[in-house]
Structure 1
Amino acid sequence: MKKIFAQERHKLILDKLAQQRSVTIKELASSLNVSEATLRTDLTKLEQQNLLRRTHGGAILVDPNELDTSFSTRQMKNKDEKVAIAKAAVKTILNNQCIMLDASSTALELAHQLKDSPYRLTVVTSGLKVAMELNDSPQITVILLGGIVKQGSCSLEGTLGAEILNKIHVDQLFTSSNGFSEEAGFTDFSVYEVELKKRMVKAATKTTVLLDHTKIDRNSIAAFAEITDIDTFITDQPVSDKYVELFKKHHIELIVTD
């Protein structure tokens, strides 16, 4: 069996946790063909990133409600960077488009920038706060995707209302994530929210990711998109040469804010 490098092991561990919510070191050692000592180190590193909780002999999936991931907390984190990213995103939008915004705090900042813009738009969103932000804008029609309200986040989970995506044409999706790496793609901490975001990516003609520099080379629990699924990447600081080449390889437009 070929050697599995650390980042790949971490992704496989998180994938298994997402499926069954708990794992044992013996189980992982058998399936990944690595030593238990190596896996203890892996689990410790993942716990330090708040991606799992160590238990005697294994690990369990972190309950998102235990994390510092409330919407109000995320909204205030890296606020200046999100404003800059949102202003850059506005410049990619055309009048009379149908765009889609996820429930992220960066998407909410984009909604705030659009609120008083001259654009006539249709905005589809899974974010309650995004919908409320745009509700009083006479030139913007808001479509709120149905679903289960996620406590503490003002977002909708699940795919109960996603069927509407089969009936409308979405020109561009603006989405963010809790982490991004070449190996894992775009990841988030809510398995249920990820399922809806997968549908959103699939429904959009173009997908634009809004991501501040702190999320790059960071993995979360479940992936909703791969690098090949996106068209534009907007961030606030220059990315490493590795990612410049990766984006070029896949013909992804890279926009770095001033």
Structure 2
Amino acid sequence: MTPLSPDEMARYARHIVLPEIGGTGQLRLRRAHAVVIGAGGIGSPVIQYLAAAGIGRLTLIDDDRVDASNLQRQTIFATTDIGTPKVAAAAAIVTRLNPHVAVDACAVRVDRDNVRGLIDGADVVIDGCDNFDTRLTVADAALAARVPLVSAAVGRFEGQLGVFRGWEPSRPCYRCFVGDAPSREGATCAEEGVIGPVTGILGSFAALEAIRQIAPFGEDSAGKLVLIDLLALRLRTLTLPKDPGCPACGTSPRDP
């Protein structure tokens, strides 16, 4: 593999001096492909931090356009971006931030017909979308492709983050966590509200965990769920069990 260039050595110096990352880890990041589902409040810091970290290729997927109501939390966008496809504006930021990163902007809505093609070749998928059906679709595709899934969600002053590699015998998949309900109705951020920094915190956590899946460091986070309550300034980490009867990854799956 081509060694890091002088510019890359300077750019990633604070990574390289970390024993847990080093030059080997930085090279892993450079050859990695990360797919980000949702370029919104969670996606904004994910995109920025993964681009800054030197992920070799980023695929950004979102079919929405920038709205004035996004700007309070989706910090990758500016007022001048209103009306622009989110992935186009985000891709421009990536290119300005780090010319070493290749970026694909996909202004499409994820569904069961296109999801496998969208995540093809990915080393990690980060899901920050705000639709439960889409989350299930992405989770099932990541499981089938054996791609680590980093899933983050927020609401009001709270957030949760999980890392899933359900094809492994001892690790749960996303459906082990949420069940196999075909849909789940709930209030949206537009209805309940969300304070902006919550999305930044969860997005930063998600970027960290995506990096961990590519260039492993510290404890393995797969199968753990982080719950953050910022009204109480409280953080909890739970270990999720694998469901033997899970219809997606279980050893004795139930009938759908």
Report the TM-score range of the alignment, normalised by the length of the smaller protein. 0.3 to 0.5
Q: TM-score, normalised by structure 2?
A: 0.38
Which of structures 1 and 2 has the larger relative contact order (alpha carbons within 8 angstroms, sep 6+)? Answer: 2
Q: TM-score, normalised by structure 1?
A: 0.38
Please identify the structure whose Cα radius of gyration is greater: 1
Structure with more of its chain in strand, by fraction? 1
Structure with more of its chain in helix, by fraction? 1
